[in-house]
Amino acid sequence: MDISVIGCGRWGSFLAWYLDRASHNVTLYGRKGSGHLEQFRKTRSNGLLTLPERIALTDDLEEAVHTAQVLVVSISAQSFRGFMEVLAQQNLTGKCFVLCMKGIEADTGKRLTEILKEYTNAPAAIWVGPGHVQDFTKGIPNCMVIDSEDDALKERLVQAFSGPLIRFYYGDDLLGNEIGAASKNVIGIAAGMLDGKGKTALKGALMSRGTREIARLIKAMGGKEMTAYGLGHLGDYQATVFSEFSHNRRFGELFVQGLDYGELAEGVTTVKALLRLGGQYCVELPICRAVYDIVYEKKDPERVLSDLFLRSIKREF
């Protein structure tokens, strides 16, 4: 396939590296002035991986779109609508999209595939599940999910993208996998807060309650409750709740210690969207509420976390 990866940050550059290894023709796009792109142009490396010379680099969006059959998008979820407003000016006939971000639009609660449909009728899939660049580049394999409402596209992508490093599973619940993948970042922030407050042992309670919380939301929205227990959500907890490489976990840990992480943590904005959806669908989301109260309402983390896990007597589910 001729593939353009949109976004040259840590994950986008990995996608370009991986898809090149899967024998596709890959172009990596970064916006004009992107420091990440300039570093690749100078050294072909970002410190985590080195891109071979055969991967084309460009800051020309028209060129990236024109040369590709498949547009693999890896940018900030909250920037996606603005990006689509620009991208919709291009000729997207015959293109398909693979969205590799895990987020929900904070202001509307819309999933990324819903936003995409507002601007194009091009078929779309999502690529979600556990994995960190640092592990993949060491040759440590993992399992991930591709989901789409277009079964033919899903089949084609799974066959084209699978390899020794990543085994892909076929998703069968696009809504559930999008909500599950986005919300695991919020659970990751909560996990980091437990780490930062010396309550790491409570991660077992966090994982069991967090999965049920999100499963209820997925069901209320019309998805499959069990999707929360798959690779898109619970299956991604190891990479998000425990890993030293998790941005969201690290953000939560430093936040409750009064320190600035200084990097993107998608869960910070996603929690707003989840609470909006919880209100819309009448689903209580106590873990999401706790994260929101600590981050945005500046409530005492010690008290909020203790109230959440230690002070209430309730049934397990």
How many domains are there within the chain?
Answer: 2
- Residue 154, CA distances (Å) to 148, 158, 293 in order: 6, 6, 39
- Determine contact, residues 77/113, Cβ cutoff 8 Å: no
Q: Residue 24 has what pLDDT?
A: 98
**Exposure string for 279-305, b = 16+ CB within 10 A, e = fewer:** eebebebebbbbbbbbbeeeeebeebb
- The answer to whether residues 78 and 103 touch, using CB atoms and an 8 Å cutoff, is yes
Q: Could you tell me if residue 178 is inside a domain?
A: no
What pLDDT does 314 receive?
A: 58
* pLDDT tens over the chain, length 317 residues: 999 999 999 999 999 999 999 999 999 999 999 999 999 999 999 999 999 999 999 999 999 999 999 999 999 999 999 999 999 999 999 999 999 999 999 999 999 999 999 999 999 999 999 999 999 999 999 999 999 999 999 999 999 999 999 999 999 999 999 999 999 999 999 999 999 999 999 999 999 999 999 999 999 999 999 999 999 999 999 999 999 999 999 999 999 999 988 877 899 999 999 999 999 999 999 999 999 999 999 999 999 999 998 765 555 55
User: What pLDDT, on a 0 to 100 scale, did the predictor assign at position 263?
Assistant: 77
- 140 with 267, same domain: the answer is no
Task: Flag whether 176 is in a domain.
Answer: no
pLDDT at position 152 is 97
Both 154 and 231 in one domain: the answer is no
CA–CA distance, 300 with 29 (Å, rounded to integer): 42
Q: Are residues 265 and 304 in the same domain?
A: yes
Q: Which amino acid type is present at position 195?
A: D
Is 8 in the same domain as 157?
A: yes
- Contact in structure between 196 and 188 (CB atoms under 8 Å): no
CA separation for the pair 10, 35 (Å, rounded): 12
Whether residues 8 and 149 fall in one domain: yes
Active site residue: 184, 199, 203, 272, which one? 184
Tell me: do 55 and 143 sit in the same domain: yes
- Domain extent at residue 52: 2-170
Q: Does the annotation count 184 as an active-site position?
A: yes
CB 291 within 8 A of CB 190: yes
